[in-house]
Amino acid sequence: MAEAGGAPVITVDGPSGSGKGTVSQRVAHALGWHLLDSGALYRVLALAARRAGVALDDEAALADLAGRLDVSFEERPGEEGVRVRLDGEDVTAELRSEACGEGASRVAALAAVREALLERQRAFRTPPGLVADGRDMGTVVFPDAPLKIYLTASADERARRRWRQLRAQGVEADLAALYREIAARDARDASRKVSPLRPAEDAVQIDTTGLTVDEVVERVLELAAARGLGAARAREKS
Extended strands (E) in the chain:
9-13, 34-37, 71-75, 82-86, 89-90, 130-134, 147-152, 204-207
Closer residue to ligand DC (CB): 140 or 234? 140
| DSSP annotation string for 101-136 | HHHHHHHTT-HHHHHHHHHHHHTT--TT-EEEEESS
Q: Judge contact between 20 and 151, C-beta under 8 A.
A: yes
| Range in contact with ligand DC (rule: CB under 6 A) among 64-72, 80-88, 97-105, 218-226 | 97-105
217 alpha-carbon distance from chain centroid: 16
Q: For ligand DC, give the closer residue by CB, 139 or 230.
A: 139
State yes or no: residue 39 binds ligand DC (CB under 6 A).
yes
Q: Does 229 bind ligand DC (CB under 6 A)?
A: no
> How far is C-alpha 173 from the chain's CA centre?
23
101 binds ligand DC (CB under 6 A): yes
Minimum gap (Å) between residue 109 Cβ and ligand DC:
8
Among residues 18, 131, 185, 200, which is the contact residue for ligand DC, using CB under 6 A?
Answer: 185
- Specify whether the CB–CB gap between 138 and 147 falls below 8 A: no
Q: How far is the CB of 104 from ligand DC (least distance, A)?
A: 4
Residues that bind ligand DC (CB under 6 A): 16, 38-39, 42-43, 101, 104-105, 108, 134-136, 185, 189
